Amino acid sequence: MSTPPSLRGGARERLQHWLPRLVLSPSFVLVLFFVYGFILWTTYISFSNSGMLPDYTWAGTRQWSRLWSSWTWGIALHNIWVFGLLYIVTCTALGLLLAILLDQRIRAEGALRTIYLYPMALSFIVTGTAWQWFLNPGLGLERTMHSLGWESFSFNWLIDANMAIYTVVIAAVWQATGFIMAMFLAGLRGIDGEMIKAAQIDGAPTWKIYGRIIIPQLRPVFLSAIVVLAHLAIKSFDLIVAMTGGGPGNATAVPATFMYSYAFSRNEMGIAAASAVFMLAVIAALIIPYLYSELRESRS
Partner 1 sequence: MSFLHIHNVHKRFGDTHVLKGIDIAIEKGDFLVLVGPSGCGKSTLLNMIAGLDAISEGELLLNGERINDVHPSRRDIAMVFQSYALYPSMTVAGNIGFGLEMRKVAKARRREAIQRAAELLQIENLLDRKPAQLSGGQRQRVAMGRALVREPQLFLFDEPLSNLDAKLRVDMRTEIKQLHQRLGTTIVYVTHDQIEAMTLATRIAVMRGGELQQLGTPQAVYDDPNNLFVAGFMGSPSMNLVTARITRHEGRLVARIAAPAGDVTLPIVRDRAALEAWCDRDVMLGLRPEAITDPASANREDGDIHEATLEIALVEPTGADLYVVTQLGGRSINARMRPGAPLSPGQSTRFAFDVSRMVAFDPETEARIRDEVPATPDEASTGHADSTGNADSTGNILGQNA
Residues of this chain that bind partner 1 (CB under 8 A): 192, 194-195, 197-204, 208, 212-213, 216-217
- Closer to partner 1 by Cβ: residue 148 or 201: 201
Distance CA 135, CA 139 (A): 8
Residue 49 exposed, middle or buried by CB count within 10 Å (0-12, 13-18, 19+): middle
* Smallest distance from partner 1 to CB 101, Å: 22
* Smallest distance from partner 1 to CB 257, Å: 42
Calculate Rg over the CA atoms of the chain: 26
* Smallest distance from partner 1 to CB 97, Å: 20
Region for residue 105 given its phi and psi (left: phi exceeds 0; alpha: psi -120 to 50; beta: otherwise): left
- Closer to partner 1 by Cβ: residue 129 or 217: 217
Nearest alpha-carbon partner for 199 in 214, 209, 189, 188: 209
Which residues, 6+ apart, have CB-to-CB distance to 157 below 8 Å?
A: 135, 163, 164, 166, 167
Integer angstrom CA distances of residue 2 from 6, 12, 270, 299: 12, 15, 66, 47
* Smallest distance from partner 1 to CB 209, Å: 10
Distance CA 116, CA 99 (A): 10
- Closer to partner 1 by Cβ: residue 206 or 267: 206
Q: Which value, to the nearest 10 degrees, does the dihedral of the CA atoms of residues 209, 211, 216, 222 take?
A: 130
Q: Give the other-Cβ count within 10 Å of 108's Cβ.
A: 8
- Closer to partner 1 by Cβ: residue 106 or 201: 201
* Smallest distance from partner 1 to CB 207, Å: 12
Distance CA 60, CA 46 (A): 9
- Closer to partner 1 by Cβ: residue 9 or 216: 216
* Smallest distance from partner 1 to CB 191, Å: 10
Distance CA 140, CA 132 (A): 8
Nearest alpha-carbon partner for 164 in 74, 253, 252: 252
Distance CA 87, CA 173 (A): 6
* Smallest distance from partner 1 to CB 96, Å: 16
- Closer to partner 1 by Cβ: residue 153 or 222: 222
- Closer to partner 1 by Cβ: residue 37 or 216: 216
* Smallest distance from partner 1 to CB 184, Å: 16
- Closer to partner 1 by Cβ: residue 14 or 212: 212
